[in-house]
Structure formats: structure tokens, C-alpha cells
Amino acid sequence: MSSIEGTPKNHNEALAQRCVPEIVQATPEVWSTIKDDVMSFEKELFGLEETDISYAFQNTEATIAILRDVKTNEVVGITYAEPVAQAYQSGLHAEREKLPNAIYIQNTALDPDYMKQGLVGPLMDCLEEALRAKGYKFIERDSVVAHAYAENIKRKYGDRIMLEIPHSSKWGDQVFFRISLA
Ligand SMILES: CC(C)(COP(=O)(O)OP(=O)(O)OC[C@H]1O[C@@H](n2cnc3c(N)ncnc32)[C@H](O)[C@@H]1OP(=O)(O)O)[C@@H](O)C(=O)NCCC(=O)NCCS
């Protein structure tokens, strides 16, 4: 877990400047360099194990963005996406439509010490820019209704939301969103 002593829990210009998003290659070597930082918050937030995330770094078609605090050199946020044909190929979402130009956001998380500072926006912008450059037209994601998360996504993306389907899941009520990258 990172510690940013003296940082108030509000939007902080200095913090925003030192937290820089970047696209990283989906390779096991990259994963090995960032896994300790990433697992320190993914474990705390979702109870995830390393294998729940490392698989994405074995998928050359995955697009992965991280947020790095350049002052401490720690990775303090991550989000990644996989083509829907892969994300929905079995199990949970097998029945979903698999648009060839859509990509599914599997995970978005920040180190709790870095939350509520407006840092998720730059991280998502970085991911979305890379996805546009690869030719994707839509992102898809599920967002929990709890903590007003789905409501926040709806407000954030507004007119870009093309499809919205509420559903129940083992994580509680969720909303499936298809969001235009245009
Ligand atoms: C979800 C999470 C990344 C948001 O980070 P945060 O620090 O709380 O949010 P920030 O202060 O950076 O930004 C908040 C703004 O971004 C928006 N936002 C939140 N999550 C977003 C997302 N995934 N994509 C785009 N925008 C998002 C909010 O609507 C809010 O907009 P507003 O300023 O207009 O109100 C963070 O709370 C987290 O890691 N939570 C635990 C993991 C989780 O629930 N992940 C989502 C399910 S995969």
C-alpha cells in the first residue's frame, strides 16, 4: 500500500501532476515489474489473487493502462480491456453480443490512498485513446449499482452511452454499459 503523507483527500493539483498514465505492453515481463504494487490494492479492494490479473498480461490483444506516481515510482492505478469475443467466450457473459469493434473493460482500480483526487479520468482517457488508435468503436463494462458507481458512469459518459442493461450478478446488482468511443 502506498502512502502519500500530507495529501488531503480532495482534488490536489500537485498529486495530479505527479500521477502519470501510460499504456504498458501486455507481457509477463511487464507484469512481474508492477505486480507487487498492483496486488497491494487489488487484493484490498476486490480480494483478487495474482492469477485473476496476470492472465491479461498473457493476452497480446489486451490493452492495459497504468497510473504511476512518478515521485515514488509506484503504480497506483490500473485499468485493462480485452476484445469482447475473448471476454464473453465462456461462463459469465457467454450469451452477450460480440461486436467485432467492441472491447470490454475488465478492471478499473486505484490505490485507496489515491482515490477521490480526480485521477481515474486521466487513466481512462489514456486507455480510451489507445483503444481508438487500435480502431475500436465501443467500450463495454459492468458497473455495480452500489455506491452509486453505475450512476457515476452514466453521468460521466452521458450521450456516449449506447446501451444500458441492468442485471444481477454475484457482486450484486450491476449495469452493463456499451459506450461509444467516438
Ligand atoms: C472506481 C475508482 C477507480 C474511481 O476512482 P475515484 O478516485 O473514486 O474517482 P476520481 O476522484 O478519480 O474521479 C471521480 C469522477 O470520475 C468518474 N468515474 C468514476 N469511475 C470512473 C470510470 N471507471 N471511468 C470513468 N469515469 C469514472 C466519477 O463519475 C467522477 O466524476 P465527477 O467528478 O463528474 O463526479 C475507485 O473508486 C476505485 O478503485 N474503486 C474500487 C474499485 C472499483 O469499484 N472499480 C470499479 C469496478 S471495476
Q: Where are the chain's structural domains?
A: 13-136
In angstroms, the CA 86 to CA 68 distance is 28
Residues 179 and 161: beta-carbon distance below 8 Å? yes
Going by DSSP bridges, is the β-strand pair 138-144/102-110 parallel, antiparallel, or unpaired? parallel
Q: Which residues contact 70 (CB under 8 A, 6 or more apart)?
A: 18, 19, 20
Which atom of ligand 1 lies nearest, measured to the CA of 118?
Answer: 12
The mean pLDDT value for 146-168 works out to: 97
Centre of ligand 1 to C-alpha 126, Å, is: 14
pLDDT band of 91, cuts 50, 70, 90: confident
Strand (E) positions, the chain? 19-24, 63-69, 74-83, 102-110, 138-144, 161-169, 172-180
Find out whether the beta carbon of 118 lies less than 6 Å from any atom of ligand 1. yes
CA distance 154 to 158: 6
- The predicted pLDDT at position 4 comes to 52
Q: Can you tell me the distance from the alpha carbon of 135 to that of 131, in angstroms, rounded to the nearest whole number?
A: 6
- In whole angstroms, what is the distance from residue 163 CA to residue 156 CA? 15
Task: Report how far apart, in Å, the C-alpha atoms of 3 and of each of 8, 35, 47, 138, 156 are.
Answer: 12, 17, 20, 36, 28
Q: Look up cell 469482447; give the residue.
A: 84
Does ligand 1 come within 6 angstroms of the Cβ of 39? Answer: no
Mean pLDDT (the chain, rounded): 93
User: Span 104-131, mean pLDDT?
Assistant: 97
pLDDT score recorded for residue 23: 98
Ligand 1 atom closest to Cα of 41?
A: 39
Q: What percent of the chain has pLDDT over 70?
A: 94
Task: Return the higher-pLDDT residue of 129 and 7.
Answer: 129
> Got the DSSP string for 42-71?
HHHHH---HHHHHGGGG-TT-EEEEEEETT
Question: 3 pLDDT exceeds 50?
Answer: no
Return the pLDDT at 10: 54
Q: What confidence tens digit (pLDDT) does each residue in 53-72 have?
A: 999 999 999 999 999 999 99
**What pLDDT score does 35 carry?**
98
Domain 13-136: which CATH number of 1.20.120.1200, 3.20.20.450, 3.40.50.300, 3.40.630.30: 3.40.630.30
Provide the 3-class DSSP secondary structure of residue 156: helix
Give the span between the Cα atoms of 65 and 60, in whole angstroms.
14
pLDDT class of 92 with cuts at 50, 70, 90: confident
Q: What is the pTM of this model?
A: 0.92
CA 106 to ligand 1 center in whole angstroms: 14
> Residue 20 is placed in which grid cell?
502519470
- Ligand 1 midpoint to CA 134 (Å): 24
pLDDT digits (tens, 9 = 90+) for 6-48: 444 456 889 999 999 999 999 999 999 999 999 999 999 999 9
CA-nearest of 30, 49, 29 to 39 is 49
Is the C-beta atom of 167 inside 6 A of ligand 1?
Answer: no
Residue nearest ligand 1's atom 14 by CA:
118
